[in-house]
Structure 1
Amino acid sequence: MTVSGIDRLHSQLSKLEDMFPGFLTEIVEGSIVMNPVRPFHGKTIQRLWSIVEGQLPEGWALVSDVAFPFDDANEFCPDLAVIPAEAEAENRSAYPADLIELVAEVVSPESVRRDYEMKPRWYASRGIANYLVLDPLKGHVVTMWNPGPDGYRGRDTISYGPELAIDSSLGKLSIPTARLPVDPKARS
């Protein structure tokens, strides 16, 4: 995709976000998708950010809800992505998807299919080594690794509670999952 194509897509999304505050907007398989943002969604992102940020090696940085165009029909705004600090310092609204080293999505009722089925194929196809799906609706995290052309070959589901150790190209990351919020409806 050309830079002008990326700029055009991002311009379209920015207009929609301005018209519908409180919604996250992405382009997924050619469709514009809008999800309402919920408190547990934001709280999960904030906690994960604070946990991961101090563990990143020098030269890496976190970004949240910025655009990563994959092609003309797919532009994702990951809840959390690790990219080179040099790129993050450019303070852009969109970056090439190939910069992502690790990505995390937080599930909302409207994003279940996209986060568990659609996005793993796209993230894996770009060689993103680790994909985390944090699910406050079910109280678990799904880790995916070993990317291939059709998706991730490795997958584990861990209930919130124990410390999660992720072996990544960034080094070993530890995430104390007991600190992550769980939707009260998931407990009933």
Structure 2
Amino acid sequence: MTIAESWVELVQDQIQVPRSARLRLTENGLTLVPVTHAHTATARRIANQIEAGLPGWAAVGEFSVVPPREGYKPEPDAAALPLDQVRSGDSEVSEKLLPFVVEVVSPESRNRDYNTKPSHYALRAIPAYLIVDVLSARWTLLTRPDDGEYQHRESGVFGDQIEILVADQTLTLDSSQFMRI
């Protein structure tokens, strides 16, 4: 870890952020980001569907993906872990354990979610990356990471079923449950 990365982690740990906002490290530095009801409700509904649709797995959110790469630890809005890998005291999850990650788009995060995070997740070889855009009521599923790029893309509108392969199961998300701004 570089001195700059250590400093950023120290600052993030020391700043008191209201529950209605998140502190994010972006290309522009540390940014305070408001969290909308649509964002929170959609992430919760996805987590509920993960719990119901993936026996033997737990929904996780509010964590950092490790190890840091290029000084960055992404923080997806939702993902799933095998029950035997859930550590209640951890706020970090190894990229090797994640079969997919979900980002719910906010006005502030749109560019990162579509243009920056795909390469971050593909470089980590996370098999699937789902972008849920509450601004446009659309979703995009990126799969088959290879050499820092996802090779396959599916898109649709809220109301569609989204299928994500997870180990020997298929998780089906009902996007009609997602909320639009």
- Tell me if TM exceeds 0.5: yes
Name segments (4+ residues, structure 1) moved above 4 Å. 5-11
Fraction of identical pairs, as percent: 26
Aligned partner of 1:143 in structure 2 is 141
Q: Alignment partner for residue 74 of structure 1, among 66, 72, 75?
A: 72
* Aligned with residue 171 of structure 2, among 170, 173, 176: 173
Correspondence for 1:12: 11
Structure 1 residue 75, shift from structure 2 partner:
1.7
Matching residue of 2:61: 64
Checking the alignment, whether the CA contact within 8 Å between 2:5 and 2:71 is kept in structure 1 is no
Picking from 147, 158, 161, the partner of 1:160 is: 158
Structure 1: runs of 5+ lacking an equivalent: 184-188
1:84 partner amino acid: P
May I ask how many residue pairs the two structures share in their alignment? 180
Q: RMSD value over aligned CA atoms? A: 2.6
Tell me: CA distance 1:90–1:50, structure 2 relative to 1, closer, same or farther (3 Å): closer
Partner of 1:31: 29
Is the 8 Å Cα contact of residues 57 and 170 (structure 1) preserved in structure 2?
no
Q: 1:94 to 1:182 in 2, by over 3 A?
A: same
Unaligned regions of 5+ residues in structure 2, if any? none
- Would the aligned equivalents of 1:160 and 1:178 in 2 still touch at CA under 8 Å? yes
Per the alignment, residue 114 of structure 2 pairs with: 116
Q: Give the conservation status (yes or no) of the 8 Å contact 2:48–2:59.
A: no
SS at 1:95 equivalent: strand
Query: What TM-score comes out, normalization by structure 1 length?
Result: 0.83
Correspondence for 2:126 among 120, 128, 140: 128
How far 1:112 moved relative to its partner? Answer: 0.6
Offset of 1:8 from its aligned partner?
Answer: 6.9
Describe the superposition over 1:87-138 as per-residue Cα deviations: whole angstroms up to 9, x where unpaired.
3234212233332221000000000111111111011111100110001100
Q: Compute the displacement of 1:175 (Å).
A: 1.1
* Deviation string, structure 1 residues 49-77 (Cα, Å, up to 9, x no partner): 1111122242x322111122422521221
In 1, Cα distance between equivalents of 2:28 and 2:88: 28
Q: Is the 8 A contact 2:50 2:58 kept in 1?
A: no
Aligned-partner Cα distance in 2 for 1:30–1:63: 27
One-letter amino acid of the counterpart of residue 44, structure 2: Q
Residues 1:164 and 1:131: Cα distance change in structure 2 (over 3 Å): same
Deviation of 1:33 (Å): 3.5
TM-score (ref. length: structure 2): 0.86
